[in-house]
A = this chain, B = another copy of it.
Amino acid sequence: MPENLDLEQAVRSLSGRPLPGDVGVVQPRDFVHQQPFTFKSGQVIPGFTLRYETYGTLNATRDNAVLICHALSGDHHCAGWHSTEDRKPGWWNNLIGPGKAVDTDRFHVICANVLGGCQGSTGPSSLNPATGTPYGTSFPFVTIHDMVRAQKLLLDHLGVLQLHAVIGGSMGGMQAQLFAIEYPQFVRRVIAMATTARESAQAIAFNEVGRQAIMQDPAWNRGNYSKDGGPRVGLAIARMMAHITYVSDASMDRKFGRRKKDSAHADAYTFEPQFEVEGYLRYQGQSFINRFDANSYLYITRALDQFDLAQAHGSLEAAYAAVEAETLIVGFTSDWLFPPDQNRALALALLRAGKRASYAELDTDLGHDSFLLESEELYTLVRGFLDRGQSYVFDYSI
């Protein structure tokens, strides 16, 4: 989160109003699709709901929409506040708002919780209308492709004729790429950050440890648990580990180093949290289990693992063959989950396929989560890419 969040919050509290540049108090809405939906796996559900938010106004030509796609643990609430008492704004509030890089005075911004998620969209924790109980692991296996198709149905419902841009980081970047592949005439611009065309063995390995932590927790019970129960211990372990992969050695050392939680007990011998970084990680784990469903974690990490554009199309160049959008790929030097090389490879493959593509590599030491954090350099890139009228290839690194 931005470092100055508390200051922002203090200013808001004093004024009782949204900050300048802020979309203000926003309301999530539900798109209810009442027809059967067939997943890539062949499994079918009788219908689904996507919870979403919009900011800004759709123009008369219905082509100023910008779709924001969220990452594994994100949701539809990417900007603004849910009430004037809200402690935190949406997860990309620093990027999205009036006059910001994604300018809600110009663009109609849309963001939906993914299919398979747990923040209001249909997923494993939703009730199966056929049984009246949660789907649990009877929910169909979801893919990035399914997430994208469901969002396209939402955009059709909203009357969007063409996307000015689709923007996402990490898993959101996978969705953004796939949008341009599946709906080439519908997508004019893609911005994909801190992402990949397919996970490495190491990324799969980390996801597998997280899934094992959840599935080996007796409270998982093969996916059948009540809303307040479930494998909270396993999910917290999975989140603690995953969180390490979202940051960097350097950023953890700067933030925590080897500082002890309580200097009075600096030399204590204990298995309780002794170093600040331990307490921080436990907090990350505990706060996650209050907002995320363990089965959704299984489904979405599996979707991440199975995403493989080259395998699906024969090669990455073949995958991109139909793309008509201009693409901006942004990698971050300290991202070791989806490292710069994996991002650069997307832009190269697009260029080889004859597409308009650019790659920018931002020098940060904040790790994978860099795309979420304050960066004037990133804002300038995004603003420039969304603003420009005509196509040309520009490039920072290649």
Contacts and interface: CB of A to CB of B under 8 A. Distances in A.
12 contacts: A141-B269, A199-B258, A200-B253, A201-B257, A201-B258, A202-B252, A204-B275, A208-B275, A209-B240, A212-B237, A249-B336, A336-B336
Contacts of A201: 249, 252-253, 255-258, 275, 277
A188 interface: no
B253 A233 contact: no
A212 B200 contact: no
A205 interface: yes
Q: How large is the interface on A (under 10, 10 to 19, 20 to 34, 35 or more residues)?
A: 35 or more
Interface in A197-229: 198-202, 204-206, 208-209, 211-213, 215-216, 218
Interface in A267-299: 269-271, 273-275, 277-278, 281-282, 285, 298
Contacts of A205: 240, 244, 252, 277-278, 281
B258 A209 contact: no
A244 B200 contact: no
Given A241-B241, A249-B202, A302 B209 contact: no
Contacts of A215: 271
A102 B146 CA distance: 58
A308 interface: yes
Nearest to A137: B271
A233 B214 CA distance: 11
Given A213-B213, A253-B201, A208 B281 contact: yes
B336 A271 contact: no
A249 B176 CA distance: 25
A256 B199 CA distance: 12
A137 B271 CA distance: 10
Nearest to A280: B205
Interface of A: 41, 137, 141, 198-202, 204-206, 208-209, 211-213, 215-216, 218, 233, 236-237, 240-241, 244, 248-249, 252-253, 255-258, 269-271, 273-275, 277-278, 281-282, 285, 298, 302, 305-306, 308, 311, 336, 339
- Counting from the closest, the 7 A-B pairs by CB-CB distance are A141-B269, A201-B252, A202-B249, A208-B278, A201-B277, A216-B233, A201-B256
A281 B216 CA distance: 14
Nearest to A207: B278
B200 A252 contact: yes
A321 to B, nearest CB: 21
Contacts of A270: 141
A196 to B, nearest CB: 11
A240 B212 contact: yes
A270 B303 CA distance: 10
B281 A209 contact: yes
Contacts of A298: 271
